[in-house]
């Protein structure tokens, strides 16, 4: 079965950095667009970043552009989210999602598989 497992979350002070990882198994990793989404308490799940099947195309929410970098290593079936200059408003559970590479957008309902999430808390 398909499994996505996020890791790397934690507590960090504003201005700090975290690197999130998503390890995928049970799928042909390079056949999927990979996305990062986040959800704060009482809020909807929002798009953070997307990387296409090859890693050659990325897309970022305006709120994280210039601070976050998404990348993937298809040899390791892993997608990364490097988060720098973190702000308290970045606090959320971060989820990794996968969708067949015919889609590379921001709509979470199009994504077929999800991890359980990893908590990121940024203190001021």
* Angstrom distance (rounded) from CA 34 to CA 4: 11
- pLDDT, tens digit, 9 for 90 and up, residues 93-118: 999 999 999 998 999 999 999 999 99
The bridge status of strand 118-123 relative to strand 10-13 is: parallel
- pLDDT, tens digit, 9 for 90 and up, residues 23-40: 999 999 999 999 999 999
Residue 34 near residue 72, CB atoms below 8 Å = yes
């Amino acid at each position: 079965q398909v499994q996505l497992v996020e890791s790397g979350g934690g507590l960090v002070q504003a201005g700090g950095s975290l690197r999130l990882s998503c390890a995928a198994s049970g799928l042909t990793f390079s056949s999927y667009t990979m996305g990062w989404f986040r959800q704060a308490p009482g809020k909807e799940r929002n798009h953070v970043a997307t990387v296409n099947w090859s890693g050659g195309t990325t897309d970022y929410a305006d709120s994280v552009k210039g601070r976050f970098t998404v990348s993937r290593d298809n040899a390791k079936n892993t997608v990364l989210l490097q988060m720098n200059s973190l702000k308290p408003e970045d606090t959320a559970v971060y989820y990794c999602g996968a969708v067949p590479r015919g889609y590379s957008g921001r709509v979470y309902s199009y994504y077929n598989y999800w991890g359980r999430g990893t908590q990121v808390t940024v203190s001021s």
